[in-house]
Amino acid sequence: MTHERARPLSAAAFERARRVLPGGVNSPVRAYGAVGGAPRFIAEGHGAWVRDLDGNEYVDLVGQWGPALLGHAHPAVVEAVQGAAARGLGFGAPTVAETELAEQIIARVPAVERVRFVSTGTEATMTAVRLARAATGRDLIVKFAGCYHGHVDSLLAAAGSGVATLGLPDSAGVSPAVTASTVVLPYNDSAAVARTFTEFGDRIAAVITEAAPANMGVVPPAPGFNRLLRDLTDRHGSMLILDEVLTGFRVSPGGWWGLEGLDEGWRPDLFTYGKVIGGGLPLAAIAGNASVLDLLAPAGPVYQAGTLSGNPLATAAGLATLRAADADAYARVRRAADHVARAVGDALSGAGVAHSIQRAGSLLSVAFRRAPVRDYDDARDQDLWRYPAFFHAMADAGVLLPPSGLEAWFLSAAHDDVALGRIAAALPGAARAAAD
Ligand code: PLP
């Protein structure tokens, strides 16, 4: 608790919040449990920058945990939301913007024929699992250790993200009867997947996987791994759910599938999306083949509904974001990620700190270990104790990293040379702090 004196307003706001919000926050990782100290309360953000209550300015690498592909308060997105708000905040009736957003998604991801909008990634994966069980009449779900799919009961088994940071293999309150139908396998382990299908193939409703995992740090799928999942699920009549809540419309116009499946000629049965497609507002989706999606009520027998689903402000923000996310924007995100990856590698090497720069497209994270991280065991087998000092040194130098060493660093199209320069200037000192 060494940093509160420099940020009295954030520290006071946290004390006040703790009296009325569990842990002072509405999502666990925001509480700085993994790095210590009081969280910075953010007053506003523009482009690559955020400002805290105390008036300190930072280059932001949290990026709203993914949605901020264009940076904060992008003018076209703000204008679209303001226009939608002036026309009414929600009607509980269809609007044309929902159809337009679905059409945008289908145009970018030709493997998609139908889209159902929900409000959070958690709802999307929960519904995808329900659909897969309904379509196959089977029960078992295969997931991978370290992959996070939201706080769905049946998927909170060896989940990554905040659960990894808290060191909880699971969550209290999740009935063992619910996770009993979830099979958890090591990521990137083709042999384990093949064995599981040999043993239980006719009972497996679906394999759910992050298209490129980023909730145990970034872990690129080994070449051919996603394809193998598609082949095995096909052969055994199971479904493949590609969770692109984090990667969708971030790593390319067509998400991770646009980088891999499109070229290789395979497609999952179901995609889940979130984050970028809501442009920063609560919006997520289940998408895929008409034959599966049309099982959803009212077209079919699988119940799913939502008071706020397809909310006009969220669809307006999503549409404006996708329209502004052109080839140039993706090139800028990629360039920024390449630049930061190089700079952090140089700084840590200079300070003699063992590290692995983890990349998957424009996704980036840093692991404090020499060998690349291939799965959740690797992710936990690193010098995570170095991260708090690194984090605080970066923050003191004006760069806000995710407050956990097991999260991705999010770049945006707004990370220009000035922002990248601030990051480059902060890194050598932070690398020295990590070395101590
Ligand atoms: N799936 C993935 C891959 C995610 O990264 C997340 C959130 O980080 C989710 C699902 C859950 O999304 P939400 O937090 O909107 O419920």
pLDDT digits (tens, 9 = 90+) for 267-280: 999 999 999 999 99
Whose C-alpha lies nearest to ligand 1, atom 7?
Answer: 150
The H-assigned helical ranges of 137-168 are 161-166
What does residue 184 show for φ and ψ, rounded to 5 degrees?
Answer: -105, 125
Residue 381: is its pLDDT beyond 80? yes
User: What are the tens digits of pLDDT across the range 86-112?
Assistant: 999 999 999 999 999 999 999 999 999
* Nearest Cα residue to 95 out of 323, 318, 298: 318
Which of 163, 245, 251 best tests ligand 1's pocket when mutated (most atoms within 8 Å of CB)?
A: 245
- CA distance linking residue 29 with residue 162, whole number of Å: 5
Q: Which of 71, 69, 77, 76 is nearest to 49 (CA)?
A: 71
Q: Give the binding-site residues of ligand 1, using a 6 Å CB cut-off.
A: 65, 120-122, 125, 148-150, 161, 210, 215, 243, 245-246, 274, 284
Centre of ligand 1 to C-alpha 30, Å, is 15
Q: What is the pLDDT of residue 173?
A: 87
- pTM for this structure? 0.96
Look at residue 6 and give its three-state secondary structure: helix
Cα–Cα distance list, 359 to 251, 261, 356, 363 (Å) = 11, 18, 9, 6
Name which residue sits closest to atom 1 of ligand 1, judged by CA: 149
In eight-state DSSP terms, residue 281 is S
Give pLDDT, residue 247: 98
Contact 293, 33 (CB under 8 A): no
Confidence of residue 424 (pLDDT cuts 50, 70, 90): very high
Closest CA to 279 of 31, 69, 38, 6: 69
Expressed in angstroms and rounded, the spacing between residue 433 Cα and the centre of ligand 1 is 31
- Confidence at residue 164, expressed as pLDDT on a 0 to 100 scale: 53
Is residue 1 scored above 80 in pLDDT?
Answer: no
State how far the alpha carbon of 329 is from the alpha carbons of 73, 108, 250, 255, in Å.
15, 15, 10, 14
For the packed helices 312-324 and 75-87, what is the interaxial angle rounded to 10 degrees?
150
Place of tokens 């209290």: 172
Residues marked active site are found at 148, 243, 275
Contact 369, 384 (CB under 8 A): no
Residue indicated by tokens 């337009």: 100
pLDDT at 416: 98
Provide the H-helix boundaries in 265-350: 290-293, 312-324, 327-350
- Determine the 3-state secondary structure of 379 from DSSP: helix
Structure tokens, 180 = 């009993």
At residue 154 the predicted structure's pLDDT band, cuts being 50, 70 and 90, is confident
**Residue 162: per-residue pLDDT:** 60
Rg (CA), the chain: 21
Alpha carbon distances (Å) from 379 to 33, 145, 216: 18, 11, 6
Residue 327: pLDDT band with limits 50, 70, 90:
very high
Alpha-helical runs (H) found in 201-311 = 225-235, 255-259, 261-264, 290-293
β-bridge pairing 49-52 and 42-46: antiparallel
The span from the CA of 287 to the CA of 266, in Å, is: 15
Helix (H), strand (E) at residue 131: helix 121-136
Asked whether the bond before 110 is cis by omega within 30 degrees of 0, the reply is no
For residue 197, give the 3-state DSSP assignment: helix
Give 165 Cα–ligand 1 centroid separation in angstroms: 15
With contact defined as beta carbons under 8 Å apart, do 100 and 290 qualify? no
Structural domains of the chain, ranges and CATH numbers in brackets: 4-70+327-435 (3.90.1150.10), 75-324 (3.40.640.10)
Tokens 């700190």 -> residue? 353
Testing ligand 1's pocket by substitution, the residue of 148, 187, 244 carrying the most ligand atoms inside 8 A of its CB is 148
Ligand 1 center to 245 CA (angstroms): 6
- Supply the pLDDT for residue 323: 97
The predicted-structure confidence for 336-366, as pLDDT tens digits, reads as follows: 999 999 999 999 999 999 999 999 999 999 9
Structure confidence by residue, pLDDT tens digits, 175-189: 888 888 999 999 999
Q: Specify which residues 140 forms β-bridges with.
A: 204
Distance CA 436, CA 434 (A): 6
At 165, is the pLDDT very low, low, confident or very high (cuts 50, 70, 90)?
low
* pLDDT tens, residue by residue, 20-72: 999 999 999 999 999 999 999 999 999 999 999 999 999 999 999 999 999 99
Answer whether residue 3 shows pLDDT above 50.
Answer: yes
Whether residue 210 is predicted with pLDDT greater than 90 in this model: the reply is: yes
What is the chain's percent helix, strand, coil content, to nearest 5? 45, 15, 40
In degrees rounded to 5, what are phi and psi of residue 7?
A: -135, 65
